[in-house]
Structure 1
Amino acid sequence: MAFIFNLTAFFIFLRPKTRENYFTLNLACVLIITGVYIEKGMGLIIPGFIPDTLGEIFEYAPSGLEKRVALGIWAFGALFFTLFLKFALPVYTGELRFKSSSPDKKK
């Protein structure tokens, strides 16, 4: 199921006409997120709760260091997202343009 979701979203992203439509763009994003969750979340987390051959389920809680590392990764991602968004939005809206100077024109 995850492969079908990811493949469908890939083909939606390939066509320029569907990339310009907000409904299909959101649909593709939801399909990608759902497909990755099914592949990674359900494929890695749920089997971790299956009892071993003796019927014991092991409890796990992340340590303080692991929590800080995870928080740092999220903070680093948020920082890069903010920085990239600061440059991408003016380009996307047309406020930031490249001014070319042609060699034919003399001042």
Structure 2
Amino acid sequence: MVPRSQDVVQPAGPQPLTLEVDGEELQGVAGQTIAGVLLAAGRSSWRSAGRTGRPRGVFCGIGVCFDCLVTVNGLRDVRACQRRAVDGDVVGLQHERREELPRD
């Protein structure tokens, strides 16, 4: 590794950020996804499955499965694994149960 004093890029140190998650303040660093901040805080689930109510969190980690949905600054259905955390974001967890659709 190149010592920081000799690195021509001169990377900055980690910039702290704070998210409000359902009224609780969680700390993270710039560049982390919302899922990364939640996982680092010890949360493995933050949503409930629609019909079964089973806990969900990060499953695929690449934005394909939609298991990690949260509300960010009032916008619903944001994939936490894809959205970079921004200092001051207000994150709401989605726990509602959806009614099962009738089957034909």
- Indicate the structure (1 or 2) with the bigger Cα radius of gyration: 1
Greater per-residue strand proportion: 2
Same fold (TM over 0.5): no
TM-score (norm 1): 0.19
Greater per-residue helix proportion: 1
Higher relative contact order (CA 8 A, sep 6+): 2
